[in-house]
Amino acid sequence: MTTATASVLDGNTIAAQIRAELAEEVRQLTAGGSPPGLAVVLVGEHPSSQIYVHNKIKACRELGIHSEEIAAPASITTEELLAIITRLNEREDIDGILVQLPLPEQVDVKKVLLSLAPEKDVDGFHPVNLGNLAANRPALVPCTPAGVMEILHRTHTPIAGKHAVVVGRSQVVGRPMALMLLNHDATVTICHSKTIDVSQFTRQADILVVAVGHAGLVTDSWVKPGATVIDVGINRITDPVQFRSLFAGDARREQSFKEKGFTVAGDVHPRVAEVAAAITPVPGGVGPLTIAMLMANTIKACRMRRGADRRGGR
């Protein structure tokens, strides 16, 4: 395996910096009144969702944010879930509401997400918040792309005037990511599943953000030498053939794969590190920033609701 030359953009370190700053903000808010409050609604007993919710509640505890987990049965109806959200919308001690996805098939997800009060929508998915993002107005924005922006800012990566290419157009990452980069004066191209010859665009990118859920999709031949590459993908690899195609020669990964029977890979092939100037690892890159930015959104929602947010948005 060729030695990687790209500098590693360590998400764990950046997330720790953000958490330290947020803890101080919480102390200031609590000194002037009650702490920020986050309610997380968990429907059913989906194992992954339970882990995610546990991690979010744990992060709240560590920062001093008041948190509540509202558990609901998998048999819940749309109307019953809407009633829960209505009560949370009306509570003054709750600044942020998060409905953990996925939801059961019988629940109308769009109707549920639309029912959230936009000022408490800490996931940033409500059309009002997405509209404010598009208009470059202060808003609660989706956590993962907000985390990407923190990585770029805190590593002093130039954005203004640069060509940024976003691969993926989901409402959760791709579209808001493109808007955030545009709001910071990048020239932005969005690629997706219907784009013809995606690589012709990715090779032009000074900043390349990939969020498609396809392990190793972007190879070294797709990347401009010296680019900054942000890998948002998280893919569980269990097939030995696929593992070897991505990590052959990586002794640490090979040992871990042998012991666990799986590994986690991004959407960017490891060989890209031989071409890029900087790259986020998977795991340990964008992932740690997502919960950190959820905490930031909760505090921002609290400040906005109390009329105390004069910073224009994180």
Encoding tokens for residue 221?
């031949």
Q: Are the CB atoms for 297 and 18 separated by under 8 Å?
A: no
DSSP state of 215: T
Question: What is the number of other CB atoms lying within 10 angstroms of the CB of residue 79?
Answer: 10
C-beta neighbour count of 270 within 10 angstroms:
24
Q: CA-CA distances (angstroms) from residue 312 to 29, 139, 160, 309?
A: 17, 9, 19, 7
**Which of 95, 120, 121, 123 is an active site residue?**
123
Our separate counts of H helices and E strands in the chain read 11, 11
Take residue 37 and report the two structure tokens written for it: 């409050």
What's the distance, Cα to Cα, between the start and end of the chain in Å?
Answer: 40
189 phi-psi bin (left φ>0, alpha ψ -120 to 50, beta other): beta
Kindly give the residue spans of alpha helices, DSSP state H, lying in the chain.
11-31, 47-63, 78-90, 109-115, 127-134, 143-154, 174-183, 199-202, 240-247, 251-260, 287-305
Active site residue 200: no
| Angle formed by the axes of helices 174-183 and 127-134, nearest 10° | 30
- The answer to whether residue 300 is catalytic is no
Q: Kindly name the residue from 56, 120, 162, 224 that is annotated as catalytic.
A: 56
Known active-site residue 56: yes
Considering Cα of 292, then 293, then 296, then 301, what sign does the dihedral take?
A: negative
Tokens encoding 196? 């013809």
- Residues annotated as catalytic are 56, 100, 123
